[in-house]
Amino acid sequence: MSDTSAGDWLRERLDDPWNATMHSVVPHGFPAYARILHPGIVRSLPDRPVPTYDEYDAMSEAERQAVLDQFIDEPATWAETASAFGTTLHPLAQWQRIVRTPMDGDWNLRLSPDGREFTAPIEGDLTPEMLSSIASLLVDHTTTPDAGFAALWEGRGGLVGHMGHGPSRAFLTFSDEPNHQAMLDRSVKDPFNNVFRKQTWQEGILSREVSEGPRLQLLNRDHVLFRGAVSDFARADWILDVPWRDRPGEEHGFAPSAQSPAILWPDDHAWVMVSEIDYDSTIVAGSAELVAAICADQRLEAFPIPENAELTWDSDEVNR
Q: What's the Cα-to-Cα distance from 130 to each of 25, 133, 235, rounded to whole Å?
A: 21, 5, 11
CA atoms within 13 A on the CB side of 23: 17
pLDDT, one tens digit per residue, over 230-277 is 999 999 999 999 999 988 888 889 899 999 999 999 999 999 999 999
Report yes or no: 160 and 168 within 8 Å, Cβ to Cβ.
Answer: yes
Q: Which domain holds residue 22?
A: 5-38+124-161+203-305
Are both 176 and 194 inside the same structural domain?
yes
Residue 61 to residue 33: CA distance in whole angstroms: 51
Are both 34 and 148 inside the same structural domain?
yes
Name the pTM for this structure. 0.84
Are both 244 and 132 inside the same structural domain?
yes
Closest CA to 281 of 9, 90, 16, 137: 90
| Residue 214: φ, ψ to 5° | -65, 160
Are both 272 and 301 inside the same structural domain?
yes
* Residue 312 falls inside a structural domain: no
pLDDT, one tens digit per residue, over 176-199 is 555 555 544 444 445 555 555 677
Residue 228 to residue 90: CA distance in whole angstroms: 35
Are both 57 and 108 inside the same structural domain?
yes
Are both 226 and 280 inside the same structural domain?
yes
Domains contained in the chain, number: 3
* Residue 318 falls inside a structural domain: no
Are both 134 and 69 inside the same structural domain?
no
Are both 102 and 173 inside the same structural domain?
no
* Residue 66 falls inside a structural domain: yes
